[in-house]
Structure 1
Amino acid sequence: MPEGPEIRRAADTLADVLEGRTITSITFGLPRLRREASRLKGHKVVAIETRGKALLTHFEHGLSIYSHNQLYGVWKVIAGHTLPKSTRSMRLLLQTRDHSAILYSASDISVWPTAELVHHPFLAKIGPDIMDPCLGWRDVADRLGLPQFAAKELAALYLDQAFLAGNGNYLRSEILHDARLHHRQRPRELTRGELGKLARSTLTISRRSYDSGGITLAPRLSRSLQRQGLAREWRRFYVFGREDSPCYHCSHPIRRQEVGSRRLYFCPVCQGEH
């Protein structure tokens, strides 16, 4: 499933061709939504927003399209109106005079009055967007100390969208490794320094992934591995997907565990359980 950085990059691509432009044609692939097209056609898109793994397309007249990519959804943007051939099911098509934006495969789509989005069943229960540029490390540290989060194991907390929306499986492993913390630890067990380091790592890793298109390694290390001829998939992550490969910090083999039915990777030396 795409995580916060990927959703934000998709939103940026959509914003480039939709924001400030009038929708000349709109098609919903889901029968239950087809009547909504007439309410949106001919109106201007004023903003593309992300909230965690959800994407919101806001229109000038106070309506918004909510969409969630779920496991298999993907946005495509093309110049013109000739749609590419695809085996995927088209769920939403937004067209301006010059471009087409197509959402394939996702089924969690709805149209809402913008002012009522605070009552959306998903949006109402999620925490701050991990990609929100206004989110600071002290905000993350403060949330780590809240009673509903402080007693949770980090492995569970860093998939909890109520804690931070947009966090996900690869970010979880990479953030905890960068913070040098074991996934069984809980925020209430951490020192003030460890909490600060975890909060900073949370933003550093997620924003680095956004900036680089999915690479969480420090840029210098990633470039060094590239010069050695390693393919991109082997120079993306510190630990995620690198089971039995040497840790870049201590050379100990990376381990994998199934935690909450999701794979988690860590270095048992750098992230020893206290």
Structure 2
Amino acid sequence: MPEGPEIRRAADRLFKAVGGQPLESAWFHAPSLKPRQRELVGARITAIDTHGKAMLTRFDNGLTLYSHNQLYGVWMIAQAGERPETNRSLRVALETEKTAILLYSASDVALWQDAELASHPFLSKLGPDVLDKRLTAAQVARRLHESRFARMSLAALLLDQAFLAGMGNYLRSEVLFEAGIAPTRDAASLSQDERKLLASALLEVPRRSYRSRGIRKTAGMRAEYITDTPDGFAFKVFDRAGEPCPECGRRIRRRELAGRRLYDCAHCQH
């Protein structure tokens, strides 16, 4: 599943393609949304925001389109009236005079009034977005100290979207390595200095990934993480089992923790 930085970059590309332009047409696959297609005709997209892995397409008529890619969803951009050659199922099509943005293979799509969006059943359970510029390391450190999170293993906590939205599997491995902390520890066991290190890494690593405009291909990397960006975010440990740690040179290991694969250095992460 794409993680917060990838969803935010997708939102940036979509808004650049259609932002501020009146919609010539709107189409939904879901029968429940078809009667609302005409509400979007003539509306302009004022922003495409993200909260964690959810995307929020905001219109100037007080409506917001909520979508979540889940495992297989993907947004594409095409010329108006054209559709890319793909075996995926089209779920949403929003078209301006010149450009179409198209959502394929995602089933979690809804249209909400802006004023009611805070009560959305998924969004209302999310923690702060790791890419939110207003979120500080001090605030993250305080969340690590909260009783509802403190007894969870870090391997599980860093995948919990109620803790911080937008975190995911590659970010989990990279954040813990950056902080030099073992994934089997829980937040309650961290010293004050360790909480500060982890809180800083929880903001810096996802933001660095977002700024890098993609993930750079390295040996052993799985295809779903590859982009064509030559200067993208490079993994230090994720998907590098058996390769040398960039800090100490010892072999990186792969483990299954909290139901997902995790990569770490037994020597550098205490």
Segments of 5+ residues of structure 2 without an aligned counterpart are 218-228
- Distance (Å, rounded) in 2 between the aligned partners of 1:36 and 1:214: 35
Aligned Cα root-mean-square deviation (Å): 1.9
The 8 Å contact of residues 129 and 164 in structure 1, kept in 2 or not, is answered as: yes
Letter in 1 for 2:235: F
Tell whether 2:242 aligns with 1:244: yes
Letter in 2 for 1:133: K
Letter in 2 for 1:240: F
Instruction: State the match for 1:261 in structure 2.
Output: 259
Q: 1:188-199 counterparts in 2 under 5 A?
A: 188-199=188-199
Using the size of structure 1 for normalisation, the TM-score is: 0.90
Letter in 2 for 1:112: W
Per-residue deviation, 1:215: 3.9
The 8 Å contact of residues 208 and 216 in structure 1, kept in 2 or not, is answered as: no
Partner of 2:111, secondary structure, is strand
Q: 1:108-187 counterparts in 2 under 5 A?
A: 108-187=108-187
Letter in 2 for 1:159: L
Q: Deviations over 1:22-52 (max 9, x none)?
A: 1111111223321121111111111111011
Per-residue deviation, 1:150: 1.4
Letter in 1 for 2:157: L
| Shift >3 Å, 4+ stretches | 214-217
Partner of 2:91, secondary structure, is strand
Q: 1:21-32 counterparts in 2 under 5 A?
A: 21-32=21-32
- Distance (Å, rounded) in 2 between the aligned partners of 1:134 and 1:78: 34
Instruction: State the match for 2:221 in structure 1.
Output: none
With 64-73 and 208-217 compared, the bigger mean Cα shift is at 208-217
Using the size of structure 2 for normalisation, the TM-score is: 0.91
Per-residue deviation, 1:61: 1.3
Partner of 1:31, secondary structure, is coil
- Distance (Å, rounded) in 2 between the aligned partners of 1:44 and 1:260: 42
Segments of 5+ residues of structure 1 without an aligned counterpart are 218-230
Tell whether 2:18 aligns with 1:18: yes
Tell whether 2:185 aligns with 1:206: no
Letter in 2 for 1:107: S
- Distance (Å, rounded) in 2 between the aligned partners of 1:255 and 1:111: 44
Per-residue deviation, 1:124: 0.6
Per-residue deviation, 1:18: 2.5
Letter in 1 for 2:242: D
Per-residue deviation, 1:216: 8.7
Instruction: State the match for 1:226 in structure 2.
Output: none
Partner of 1:91, secondary structure, is strand
- Distance (Å, rounded) in 1 between the aligned partners of 2:79 and 2:196: 45
Distance 1:202 1:120, change over 3 A: same
Letter in 2 for 1:203: L
Give % identity: 48
The 8 Å contact of residues 21 and 96 in structure 1, kept in 2 or not, is answered as: yes
- Distance (Å, rounded) in 2 between the aligned partners of 1:120 and 1:58: 15
- Distance (Å, rounded) in 2 between the aligned partners of 1:214 and 1:153: 29
